[in-house]
């Protein structure tokens, strides 16, 4: 369907060497987009690009440090000047650090905020400068159910994902008039490397399955449809919205 066709578009996905980021990059490629993968580990980055190319997709590496404003802007400006436009940005780079809030190290808090929040601002701004000039562009920030909920031991992460939801609203408020659509996806509990310790914990998994109306963990491929929708013509009048993909966990007590 043309409403969900991304042929001819180029999508940059940060933190896309594994987990949710890789699944979203693969899904966008399946919808016709050329994907630019980004990550901190050069070997994993090359392996991810190779894997997508082996499936017949258009994929390239665009390596830079998303937590460094100058690095992000330089890499994106260079790509735009030498290769072509970046039509879609998926701000997926993120990290988790668990611990009691009263003992949480300031350095860990700063690192988490830089990875989860600053990166979305840095890369979002760098891409938006070019998108504004063209009068169109899609930005999808990856939020979380922790944008709306909290649980013990992850207060700083919760703060970072709340910031992402409101940054998304701010992006839409400032940039919609320039033709940009800025939205967010808030995943629930998915089987990812970030959640590996929780997936392996029988007690936590039992609690989650009971707490979630769908009764199970999510699979990363189940986020692809929401991402393609927010990047495609089908969502042309959707702006500033956070789409929860969580098996109903935020809908129930």
Catalytic residues: 157
Identify the residue whose tokens are 């988790």. Answer: 96
Cα–Cα nearest to 49, from 38, 61, 41, 39: 61
Give the number of other CB atoms < 10 A from CB of residue 85: 16
Sheet holding 34-37, edge to edge: 59-61, 34-37, 10-13, 88-91, 137-142, 180-187, 242-245
Contact of 243 with 230, CB cutoff 8 Å: yes
- CB under 8 Å to 102, separation ≥6 — which residues? none
| CB burial string 28-49: b at 16+ within 10 A, e below | bbbbbbbbbbbbeeeeebeebb
């Amino acid at each position: 369907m043309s409403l969900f066709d991304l042929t001819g578009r180029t999508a940059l996905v940060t933190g896309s060497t594994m987990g949710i980021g890789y699944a979203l990059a693969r899904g966008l490629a399946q919808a016709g987009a050329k994907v630019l993968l980004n990550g901190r580990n050069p070997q994993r980055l090359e392996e991810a690009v190779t894997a997508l190319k082996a499936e017949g997709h258009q994929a390239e590496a665009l390596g830079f440090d998303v937590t460094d404003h100058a690095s992000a802007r330089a890499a994106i400006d260079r790509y735009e000047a030498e290769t072509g436009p970046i039509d879609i940005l998926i701000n997926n780079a993120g990290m988790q650090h668990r611990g009691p809030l009263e003992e949480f190290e300031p350095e860990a808090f700063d690192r988490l905020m830089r990875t989860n929040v600053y990166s979305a601002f840095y890369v979002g701004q760098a891409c938006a400068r070019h998108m504004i000039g063209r009068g169109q562009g899609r930005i999808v920030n990856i939020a979380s159910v922790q944008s709306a909920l909290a649980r013990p031991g992850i207060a700083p992460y919760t703060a970072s994902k709340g910031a992402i939801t409101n940054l998304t609203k701010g992006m839409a408020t400032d940039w919609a008039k320039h033709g940009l659509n800025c939205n967010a996806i808030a995943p629930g509990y998915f089987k990812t490397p970030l959640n590996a310790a929780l997936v392996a914990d029988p007690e936590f998994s039992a609690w989650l399955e009971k707490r979630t109306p769908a009764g199970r963990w999510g699979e990363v491929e189940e986020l692809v449809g929401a991402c393609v929708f927010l990047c495609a013509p089908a969502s042309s009048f959707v702006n500033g919205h956070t789409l929860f993909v969580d098996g109903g966990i935020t809908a129930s007590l």
